[in-house]
Chains A and B, each alone.
Chain A
Amino acid sequence: MDHTSYPDSYIRGILNSVKIIAMVGVSPRENRPSYFAFKYLLERNYRMIPVNPGQAGKELLGQKIYARLSDIPEPVDMVDIFRASQHVMPVVEETLTLKPAPRVIWMQLGIRNDEAAALAEAAGLKVVMNRCPKIEYGRLSSEIGWIGVNSRTLTSKRAKIFGKGVQRMSLNRPSVQGGTTAADRATAAEE
């Protein structure tokens, strides 16, 4: 995995298999990107666990906030990291101490730490960097097309309705690659 681009099947596989996501660094402020992603994923039936030491003990959208990953009293499938790249390593190290171990480390859009990724991969975890699970879910379900975004997917299969609400679609639908953008290529070149 070179982490400059990910096959849609890799991302779809992760988002279709994880059920419990701990979001490290999530903000309780409703105008922050982390709050957007937390709320969106919660509405798509993921069990979302907020982790933020400054907010520990409070609740975010009805979910209890923990100070650290090791305080969470249940198994976690994926750790989604909303921390600057230089602060990612300790989060990954803590993730690797959890029993049972989570299966996925996900670093948010703009966040990349290759050393931490290598450590997680050596322990058998899947890693995604510099992506947002909300955007990726929207892209692969094609919900994101409603706001004119190039999903870079093509399909002749109809989207499956999520089953909760009218404007929500599920990920359970095959698609093929739908082109690339100059923005993707620029990101790959920078890395």
Chain B
Amino acid sequence: MTERNPGFNTLAIHAGAQPDPTTGARATPIYQTTSFVFDDVDHAASLFGLQAFGNIYTRIGNPTNAVLEERIAALEGGTAGLAVASGHAAQVLAFHALMTPGDEIIASKKLYGGSINQLSHSFKNFGWNVVWADPDDISSFERGVTPKTKAIFIESIANPGGVIVDIEAVSKIARKAGVPLIVDNTLATPYLCKPIDFGADVVLHSVTKFLGGHGNSIGGVIVDGGTFNWSREGRYPMLSEPRPEYQGIVLHETFGNFAFAICCRVLGLRDLGPALSPFNAFLLLTGIETLSLRMQRHCDNALAVAQWLSSHKDVAWVSYPGLPGDKYNALAKKYVPKGSGAVFTFGLKGGYDAGVNLVSNVKLFSHLANIGDTRSLIIHPASTTHRQLSDAQKVQAGAGPDVVRLSIGIEDKEDIIADLDQALKG
């Protein structure tokens, strides 16, 4: 009765893709087109009315992007996906499906700085309010719940501090509050952690990072876990009420456990417009085929570099959950047993000037703002991304004057360490 289930590597290569129906092309073709012809007016009406599966216009969907969507949904164990122009676009669309003016998101205050900006300032313009909670004090999420709460938002591994959030504990609070748990899984990727297995209802990705993995394309994905009942209390009218845009269709009733992904597509992507280029989808898909090979190497290299740094005379501290004795080591063993990712921070005894010197002296590491590339990357947040903050704000954001962030690549670890060694001496 039970059929054999494929493993992660098989899904990473095959899920969502198939030989092209007309040409037999085996690699996923880049359908670089804005639009798709209709058979007749009735076919067009069926597509626009959501009565048939199919392609209309690349702002709403595209066959190359669709392979990326199904691929990541399969890897995360979700029911459906939606590919968009960036990780930030994924966040806008996911919250757009849930929020009305005056509603609240409870979010981890240890989110990626760019997300803190988006939630604090841009979302305020929509009337969406944020209640910050501390992942080191899980009860702060519970204390943040109000009748206006519509979602809880965390990162599985926070960028850049190497903070691991107890997803299961937060999911219990979300369940009790009757709101979905949204988890950004960018730094872990489904190779290291599958948040839906720990109670997440929606998973978001900046596919730009380790999933794509080659630093060549920006993209984002929303994965619908299919686990949340959007109609139970009527608090999510985009999903549970008749939609005037679609002749009164009720999305949850019509699309069941993949209604959230459909809602983000047909109300969010259609109307707000951050569509992914099919060419980017192709590059990101190619990256995903080698995800597990790359991710394991990223993690093994990162652990070796973290160990080396932690015994270096000029290094004050290393924050990497994979290190024994790290504050998050127990959570790392539970949530990311294969490795703690490849992005972490460390502190230099020499403070601000030592940080500036280090990023100036490296020859193999690239000094830039991205993470999750095959190449090793370095940044000194206090002199770059967090420069505009006060010293107190910098420390609060984990970007104090002594802090350096690394994204360890998949070069030979001896060469990565040698570059840091010469740069620290310099």
Interface residues of A (CB under 8 A from B): 2, 5, 7-9, 30-31, 33, 35-36, 39-40, 43, 109-110, 132, 135, 138, 142-152, 154-161, 165-167, 169, 176-183, 186
In the bound complex, how far is the Cα of B203 from the Cα of A38, in angstroms?
Answer: 33
- CB contact between A149 and one of B5, B43, B79, B83 (< 8 Å): that residue: B79
Indicate whether A179 sits within 8 Å of B247 (C-beta atoms), given known contacts A144-B53, A145-B16, A146-B63: no
Q: Closest CB of chain B to A153's CB: distance in Å? A: 9
Most buried by A among B37, B49, B79, B249: B79
Complex interface: chain A residues within 8 A of B396 (CB): none
Complexed CA–CA distance, A156 and B15 (Å): 10
By a CB distance below 8 angstroms, the chain B residues around A182 are 77-78, 196-197, 225-227
Evaluate contact between A167 and B249: CB separation under 8 angstroms: no
Top 9 nearest A-B pairs by Cβ distance? Answer: A183-B226, A148-B69, A158-B19, A167-B54, A165-B39, A177-B3, A150-B73, A149-B80, A31-B248
Q: A138-B53, A183-B79 are in contact. Are A145 and B74 (CB under 8 A)?
A: no
Tell me whether A147 and B265 are in contact (CB under 8 A). Answer: yes
With both beta carbons as reference points, the residue of chain B lying nearest to A161 in the complex is identified as: B21
B residues 19-48 touching A (CB-CB < 8 Å): 19-22, 24, 36-37, 39, 43, 46-47
Residue of B nearest to A7 (CB): B3
Q: Which one, A30, A159, A181, contacts B78 given CB within 8 A?
A: A181
Q: Which of A158, A176, A179 contacts B77 (CB 8 A)?
A: A179
Check if B256 is an interface residue, CB within 8 A of chain A: yes
Q: Which of B256-275 contact A (CB under 8 A)?
A: 256-258, 261-262, 265
Residue positions of B touching A, CB distance < 8 A: 1-6, 10-11, 14-16, 18-22, 24, 36-37, 39, 43, 46-47, 49-55, 61, 63, 65-67, 69-70, 73-74, 77-83, 196-197, 225-227, 242, 246-249, 253-254, 256-258, 261-262, 265
Q: Which chain A residue shows the least CB distance to B264?
A: A148
A31 B242 Cβ-Cβ under 8 A:
yes
Assuming the contacts A31-B247, A154-B14, asked whether A177 and B55 have C-beta atoms less than 8 A apart, the reply is: no
Q: Are B70 and A151 in contact (CB under 8 A)?
A: yes
How long is the Cα–Cα vector from A166 to B255 in the complex, in angstroms?
23
Knowing A39-B46, A147-B61, A148-B80, the reply to whether A183 touches B37 (Cβ < 8 A) is no
| Complexed CA–CA distance, A23 and B144 (Å) | 48
List of A residues within 8 angstroms of B73 by Cβ? 148-150
Closest chain A residue to B68, Cβ basis: A148
Provide a sorted-by-A list of 28 A–B residue pairs whose CB atoms are within 8 angstroms: A7-B2, A9-B3, A30-B49, A31-B242, A39-B46, A43-B52, A110-B256, A138-B53, A143-B54, A144-B53, A145-B67, A146-B66, A147-B265, A148-B80, A148-B261, A149-B70, A149-B79, A149-B261, A150-B70, A150-B78, A150-B80, A155-B14, A161-B21, A166-B36, A181-B78, A182-B77, A182-B197, A182-B227
Which residue of chain B lies nearest to A145 when distances are taken between CB atoms in the complex? Answer: B70
CB-CB nearest in chain A for B256: A109
Q: Which residue of A lies closest to B53 (CB)?
A: A143
Q: How many angstroms from the CA of A39 to the CA of B45 in the assembled complex?
A: 12
- Closest residue of B by beta carbon distance from A33: B254
- Nearest CB in chain A: distance from B252 CB, A: 11
Chain B residue at smallest Cβ distance from A158: B19
User: How many Å lie between the Cα of A145 and that of B253 in the bound state?
Assistant: 20
Other CB < 8 Å A-B pairs besides A147-B265, A183-B257, 7 of them? A31-B247, A36-B51, A148-B82, A167-B43, A177-B3, A177-B5, A181-B78
Q: Give the docked Cα–Cα distance between A180 and B76 (Å).
A: 10
Complex: A14 Cα to B303 Cα, angstroms: 52
Chain B residues positioned under 8 Å from A36 (CB to CB): 50-51, 254
Query: Which residue, B15, B61, B242, B253, has most C-beta atoms of chain A within 10 A?
Result: B15
Assess the A178–B6 pair: CB atoms within 8 A.
yes
